[in-house]
Structure 1
Amino acid sequence: MKRTYLIYLLIVSVFYSCSYVNEDDLTEDVVIVDLVTYEANIKTIMDTNCISCHNSPPINGAPMSLTTFSDVKNSVENRNLIERISANDASVMPAGGPRLPQNLIDLVIQWETEGLEEN
């Protein structure tokens, strides 16, 4: 009898310890960036994913550096940076790695759309 009571108590406590109020409690908030700037958003993307080759000086056959605001801005305006990071073929950047996540590509696109602001 005591054992049955303990099993029953355990089952009841397991069911009541998990609660579900609504779907919003189970999902993360989507962060919407009001204004994308190089310093606040883009520099981290470049430093994390690009400068292993696009350093100063560039290595592994990279044609240009992406270490400064001017470098990255010039690459967006004149060297098809967005097309290269958005590609789904052999020209995809970063070279030899998987394509950047779409949310990072979208930030770079938003940065260009908003005028390539530095700060």
Structure 2
Amino acid sequence: MNYKVKFQATLFLLILGMFSISCISNVEEQLEDPDINVEVSFKSSVKPIIDARCTSCHSPSGGTFPNLTNYDEVKAKAERVKIRVDNREMPQGSTLSDAQIKTIVDWVNEGALDN
């Protein structure tokens, strides 16, 4: 391999490495910056919390109103759910982590979208 080809290959790898590092640090900055809004997904973030921590009581088989087994029911009671969760009144006999509470509160504050 001649000098020119080695130089080009080295330069390419150097540029590729710098690009990769800059992408990684940019993602880390976004994750650490609380001012960057990341939309909370009902399907992948909120529903799993509700299914795991709420529907054992708040379902037709659980017998406690409101029913929280589907998006329409949760959306209809979103503000109430937010307040009760944020005040740590729900779930009764258990607690949600700060991250779970923030997820639900943020989702409601973002308009309780079906996303």
Cα deviation per residue 1:27-73 (whole Å; 9 max; x = unaligned)?
A: xx8x95821121121100100000000112442xx221000001111
Q: Which structure shows the higher helix fraction?
A: 2
Structure 1 residue aligned with 2:40, among 36, 39, 47? 36
RMSD: 2.3
Q: How many correspondences in the alignment?
A: 83
Match of 1:93 in 2: 90
Cα distance in structure 2, aligned partners of 1:100 and 1:65: 19
After superposing on structure 2, the runs of 4+ consecutive aligned residues of structure 1 that deviate more than 6 Å are none
Match of 2:55 in 1: 51
Cα deviation per residue 1:87-117 (whole Å; 9 max; x = unaligned)?
A: 24xxx111122x2111111111111121211
Amino acid at match of 1:103: A
Cα distance in structure 1, aligned partners of 2:61 and 2:71: 15
- What is the identity percentage for the equivalent residue pairs of Structure 1 and Structure 2? 28
Amino acid at match of 2:109: T
Cα distance in structure 2, aligned partners of 1:75 and 1:41: 17
Match of 2:78 in 1: 76
Cα distance in structure 1, aligned partners of 2:57 and 2:99: 22
Amino acid at match of 2:78: V
Match of 2:5 in 1: none
- Write the mapping of 1:5-24 to structure 2, written as runs, cut at 5 A: none
Q: TM-score, normalised by structure 1?
A: 0.60
